[in-house]
Structure 1
Amino acid sequence: MTTAISLFTRDLRVHDNPVLHHAARAANVVPLFVLDEAVLSGAFGSPNRVSFLLDSLADLNRSLESRGGRLVIRRGDPVAEVCQLVSETGAEEVHVARDVSGYAQKREDRLRLELSARHCVLHVHEAVITTQPPGAVVPSGNDHFAVFTPYFRRWCEQQTRAVLPAPDVLRVPEVQGRPLPGRRALCDGEVSPRVLRGGESEGRERMREWSAATVCEYVHAHDDLAADATSRLSPYLHFGCVSSTELVVNAGPSEGEQAFVRQLAWRDFHHQVLAARPASSERDYRTRHDQWREDPGALHAWQRGSTGYPIVDAGMRQLQAEGWMHNRARLITASFLTKTLYLDWRLGAAHFLDLLVDGDIANNNLNWQWVAGTGTDTRPNRVLNPVRQAGRYDPGGDYVRFHVPELADLPTEQLLDPDRLQPTERRRRGYPAPIVDLAEARERFMSARGRG
């Protein structure tokens, strides 16, 4: 009687999961998740993400139980725990999703080596975390695309795999696991007060509501900060609670749906860059030879949402409160840090990773490089003026009013342009003066990049 191990990593779902689908073909299957000490003790182990992870694992276990199975929880090194489980169960095969970070690639290599010595076959499944696997869409003469537009054209031409059903019944042998721990057993710190609840059930409900009601307006409203008309599916995509393949396959022909598909392709684009260049998680993809400033005071003001620029502060406070930030606000706040303050993008990426539920190395760090001009942006020296961005994407000031409540009753023009807010009024409201002059900051940046 054959036994297979389905090793969950960032694919915490039963619907459209090639890993579980193929492992479940064996007579017995062991659904396994390992609480990886190396990951939990690093940047991943933040309160928001750990909270979302535990929600997702509890929901996954309920889904498996409804099919006669259960989730086996172990804690430690995933390679050692998988090998131990192979010894306990006599499993002939292990199934896992391919991932792209340097750590994930090394984990896969170690698994293959250790399982081979035990005469156990490792099956690595593609297109589980992304729609198109890294390496499937490549230009001639290179191992990845460095510019999104030609990548997207080729991406659209690729065949997408079929959406797989959830298994009806699972047969899990008697093996020992751990109870799911509480969050404080895994990490210290407080969870953001309005953080989303994790899990496939939550993600699929959000996916249904988004597809039924909002997505058709996406092309017109996705940059409107106050409208909040994005899907908010990014945390569920990051943890694999919903399938990007299912979203793409089910997307219709409307402008909104196709604009949303384009955003899913951006996820794949960054994953294929990181798969080919793992060092770009920390090193400049394209160096501009920046001599970044050191200014702890300015960094702290940016982190806590006290720069004196309301649109920037609103974005940073949304991040603190929700563990999430609107994509347009991410662009504005990242440009302000890297180009207006001229501080290292790695400082911003680390702060985002500390709070974002959807924070992963591919999308977070490579998007930060894109904004900083050290990544794949074809206009590396563009600077987003926060006053102009506010006027364009929050023209009524409602986004700022919600996230910067001390300014909520101000006239709109004062919310959009901090120069219109008098010093006495600032002091009365406890709101800081701008920490930098925009014109001087732009000149400093352009000079530093050799364009002044």
Structure 2
Amino acid sequence: MSERPTIVLFTRDLRVHDHPALAAAVREGGPVVPLFVLDRAVMDRSARNRLSYLDDALRDLRERLRRLGGDLIVRSGETVAETLKVAAATGAARVHMSADVSALAFRRAAKLRRAAADQRVEVAEFPGVTVVPPGEAVPVGGDHYKVFTPYWRAWQARRWRTPEQAPKRLELPPGLDAGTIPQRLADSGSGPLSPRRQQGGEGEARRRMGRWLDDDCADYEHTHDDLAADATSRLSAALRFGCLSPLELALAARKRPACAPFVRQLAWRDFHHQVCAAFPGLARRDYRERDIAWRVDDSAFAAWREGRTGVPVVDAGMRQLLDEGFMHNRARLITAAFLTKRLRVHWKDGGDHFHAVLCDGDIADNYGNWQWVGGTGNDTRPDRSFNVLRQSRRFDPDGAYIRRHVPELAGVEGADVHTPWRRRRPVPGYPPPLLDSTG
């Protein structure tokens, strides 16, 4: 065996289809060591819902790699140290990984490059987390686009790379202990474990993608804001964990003209990732400093988290989040605007709560969108007004979404479901609104 092995360090790219780092390792010609490190420093602060999804995804990935003649090598410990231990044990010459944009990902990659150089191990990063990698579409004289519309034009004009085929065969170095995936990863981490959370893994993600593209994507423009219809793709967690290639999804959707509005949403995802790549502090500090008088109101914030604000559409969204580890895209906007624009609670508090519960919690998308709503991000109109009741009546006109997620209101008829406090008799068990005016 002349060729030295190549390690493919999986992070949030848990698939075999269109995986550039994996495909390049196979082309090297030697054994390939697919590696995932259960890093306690990351897992202990991860949402339990995401750890449940990760559990599914790792088991699915291991099975797929075994069918190819390989395996998923699993180690527990600090990512860089464990990666280099495997490199030393196998004589690996290279580590391949997908480039990512969070501050943690930047630190991890830089640390790995420094430590690997001491062992004469090469580290190479590859695309795969976005459709267009951050840095490939940049404005003249700048490092990233700060406004979406010009980015959208540049994104469309880019020549996208060709997706990589899944490997046909893998070879592991002999004598390598594969390690075990612990039972019930979700027992670690933090936050609630939602009873109706989504199943993870590439197999489920690809089935969901096929159904979405064949059956529902063509209606996306007309139904994506309909709260009760629940007509969004539900592919966000698959993209967050890389169980789906965003490029493969975008190319498949772009072949269907009616799916153009959905493709635009994938561009929004890339937009936030290129912002985060240029501004890694996106989750911690204002992208654009604003003179906003934020309030600290622990009781109101708790009521918002629990879906007990007395504003039905807000409570429906927050309870869906707790129940499913997911929230409809329009409900995310409504609940975030209510917290930041009406209660004047800091966007970071809301973003942190979402990140603690969402299966699809992604640093770039979650905090990029929270800053957009809160007025400190990439919105060109940071002071735009937002009427929650108007949103409720427009996007849930029959109140079906509200009744689905707020059982106290299941028996409230007609338009009263949007404003139950205006009824002569209070609804048993449902609180009055936090604010005198809920416009």
Shorter-chain TM-score above 0.5: yes
CA distance in structure 1 between the aligned counterparts of 2:255 and 2:91, rounded to whole angstroms: 48
Query: Which string of whole-angstrom CA distances, capped at 9 and with x for unpartnered residues, describes residues 364-418 of structure 1?
Result: 0110000001100011112321110011100111100100111112122111234
Query: Structure 1 residues 330, 227: CA separation in 2 closer, same or farther (over 3 Å shift)?
Result: same
SS at match of 2:426: helix
1:291 is displaced (CA, Å) by: 2.5
1:213 aligns with 2:212: no
Cα drift, residue 251 of structure 1: 1.8
Q: Deviations over 1:196-240 (max 9, x none)?
A: 000000000000000110000001100000111100000000000
Using the alignment, how far apart are the partners of 1:111 and 1:180 within structure 2?
23
Q: Do 1:294 and 1:343's aligned partners in 2 also have CA atoms closer than 8 Å?
A: yes
Closer, same or farther in 2 for the Cα pair 1:418/1:374, shift >3 Å? farther
Please name the residue that 1:347 is paired with: 349
Distance 1:390 1:213, change over 3 A: same
Partner of 1:69: 70
1:450 corresponding residue in structure 2? none
- Equivalent residue for 1:100? 101
Q: What is the number of equivalent residue pairs in this alignment?
A: 434
Root mean square deviation, CA, Å: 1.3
Match of 2:148 in 1: 148
Matched residue of 1:124: which SS? strand
Is residue 435 of structure 1 aligned with residue 434 of structure 2? yes
- 1:33 maps onto 2:36 in alignment: yes
Inter-partner Cα distance in structure 2 for 1:402 and 1:283: 36
Whole-Å separation in 2 of the counterparts to 1:358 and 1:185:
18
> What's 1:364 paired with?
366
**Matches of 1:49 and 1:251 in 2, distance apart?**
26
Contact 1:210 1:231 (C-alpha < 8 Å) held by counterparts = yes
Q: Please, what TM-score do these two structures have when normalized by structure 2?
A: 0.96
Q: Could you tell me which residue of structure 1 aligns to residue 294 of structure 2?
A: 292
Q: Which residue of 2 aligns with 1:385?
A: 387
Q: In structure 2, what is the equivalent of residue 86 of structure 1?
A: 87
Which of 404, 407, 410 is residue 408 of structure 1 equivalent to? 410
Question: How big is each residue's C-alpha offset from its partner over 1:131-183, in whole Å with a ceiling of 9 and x where there is no partner?
Answer: 00111111111100000011000100001111111101110123224210122
The answer to whether the Cα contact below 8 Å between 1:340 and 1:438 also exists between their aligned partners in 2 is no
1:181: which partner in 2? 182
Larger mean CA deviation between 104-113 and 202-211 belongs to 104-113
The residue aligned with 1:447 is none
* Contact 2:219 2:258 (8 Å CA) reproduced: yes
Is 1:335–1:383's contact at 8 Å kept on the other side of the alignment?
A: no
Matched residues in 1 for 2:248 and 2:232: separation?
A: 18
Match of 2:129 in 1: 129
Give the gaps of 5 or more residues in structure 1. 443-452
The alpha-carbon deviation at position 257 of structure 1 amounts to: 0.9
Structure 1 residue 280, shift from structure 2 partner? 2.1
Taking the aligned partners of 2:124 and 2:11, their CA distance within structure 1 comes to 14
Amino acid at match of 1:373: G
2:317, 2:331 within 8 Å by CA — same for their partners in 1? yes
Structure 2 match to 1:337:
339
Query: 2:57 corresponds to which residue?
Result: 56
Q: Distance in 2 between matches of 1:325 and 1:277?
A: 26
Structure 2: which amino acid aligns with 1:31? P
Q: Which runs of 5+ in 2 are unaligned?
A: none
Q: Which amino acid aligns with 2:97?
A: V
Identity among equivalent positions (%) equals 49
Kindly provide the amino acid, as one letter, of the partner of residue 367 in structure 2. N
> How far did 1:122 drift?
1.0
Q: Which letter does structure 2 place at the counterpart of 1:67? A: L
User: What is the distance in 2 between the residues matched to 1:285 and 1:255?
Assistant: 35
Q: Measure, in 1, the Cα distance between the counterparts of 2:36 and 2:218.
A: 37
In structure 2, the partner of 1:112 is 113
Pick which of 20-29 and 153-162 moved more: 20-29
Contact 2:22 2:96 in 1 (8 A): yes
Counterparts of 2:73 and 2:255 in 1: how far apart (Å)? 41
Quick one: distance in 2 between partners of 1:287 and 1:418? 38
What SS does structure 2 have at the residue aligned with 1:251? helix
The question of whether the paired residues in 1 share the 8 Å contact of 2:420 and 2:426 is answered with no
Distance in 2, matches of 1:130 and 1:27, equals 28
**Which residue of structure 2 lines up, in the alignment, with residue 449 of structure 1?**
none
- Mapped to 2, the partners of 1:64 and 1:162 lie a distance apart of 22
Contact 2:49 2:186 in 1 (8 A): no
Q: Is the 8 A contact 1:418 1:434 kept in 2?
A: no
Counterpart AA for 1:433? P
- C-alpha contact 1:101 1:361 (8 A) present in aligned 2: yes
SS of 2:432's partner is coil
User: Which runs of structure 2 are paired with 1:192-203 in the superposition (5 Å)?
Assistant: 192-203=194-205
Runs of 4+ in 1 over 4 A off after TM superposition: none
8 Å contact 2:190–2:356 — kept in the other structure? no
The alignment partner of 1:65 has SS state of helix
Structure 1 contact 219–255 (Cα < 8 Å) conserved: no
Q: After superposition, give the CA deviation of every residue in 1:17-47 in whole Å (9 maximum; x if it has no partner).
A: 11111112232010000011221122xx221
Compute the displacement of 1:191 (Å): 1.8
CA contact 1:60–1:71 (8 Å) conserved in 2: yes
TM-score (norm 1): 0.94
Mapped partners of 1:36, 1:378: distance in 2: 39
Q: Structure 1 residues 185 and 219, CA, compared in 2 at 3 Å: closer, same or farther?
A: closer
Kindly indicate whether the alpha-carbon contact (under 8 Å) linking 1:217 and 1:256 is maintained by their aligned counterparts in 2: yes
Provide closer, same or farther for how the CA distance between residues 189 and 265 of structure 1 changes in structure 2, counting only shifts above 3 A: closer
CA contact (8 A) 1:220 1:256 kept: no
Map of 1:321 onto structure 2: 323
